[in-house]
Amino acid sequence: MRLINILSCAVLLLPAAGAAIPADRAGEPSVTQSAAQVLHGQDMQKNAPSTEQKQEPSTTLYQVMGVVLFIWIGLAVFLFRLDRRVARLENRAQPKQ
């Protein structure tokens, strides 16, 4: 059961991860292809991002960071509340021990 709870937390991270892929980048040549061209000494200039593309990631980066921070806040609140509840139960169980 606990494993399922943790896995559901993991699934919660998926939307943030998905947000990291800008939809308009799907058709671009892959970065690995560029890396392979560098390795094989080919010209990398033709794959250099245009000015338009260079400006685009800045807003995407803030969006992705916002989503990741939002998920982290959710996880942190969950952990903090769980920790407090466990501490309360420990205090209640202690005199009996």
Partner 1 sequence: MKAISAAVKSVYILMPAAIVMAFLWAPPAQVLGDSSRIMYFHVPIAWVSILAFIVSGIASILFLADRKGSFARLDGIAYNSAEIGLVFTVLTVITGSIWARISWGVFWNWDPRETSIVIILLIYIAYFSIQGAMAHNDNRGRIGSAYLILAMITLPFFAFLVPRIYPSLHPDPIINADRTIFLDDRMRSTLAVAIVSFTVFYCNILHIMNRMMKLQNHIEENRHEAD
Residue 36, interface with partner 1 (CB under 8 A)? yes
Give the separation between CA 30 and CA 47, rounded to whole angstroms.
9
Residue 55, interface with partner 1 (CB under 8 A)? no
x/- map, 12-31, partner 1, by CB under 8 A? -xx--xx-xx---x----xx
Residue 48, interface with partner 1 (CB under 8 A)? no
Q: Applying CB under 8 A, which of residues 1, 23, 32, 50 lies at the interface with partner 1?
A: 32
Kindly tell me the burial class for residue 2, based on how many C-beta atoms sit within 10 Å of its own C-beta (0-12, 13-18, 19 or more). exposed
Residue 46, interface with partner 1 (CB under 8 A)? no
Q: Which one, of 4, 3, 2, 5, lies nearest residue 75 by Cα?
A: 5
Residue 10, interface with partner 1 (CB under 8 A)? yes
Distances in Å between the alpha carbon of 78 and those of 67, 82, 85? 17, 6, 11
Q: Which CB atom, from 51 or from 97, has the smaller least distance to partner 1? A: 97
Residue 51, interface with partner 1 (CB under 8 A)? no
**DSSP string computed for 75-86:** HHHHHHHHHHHH
Residue 81, interface with partner 1 (CB under 8 A)? no
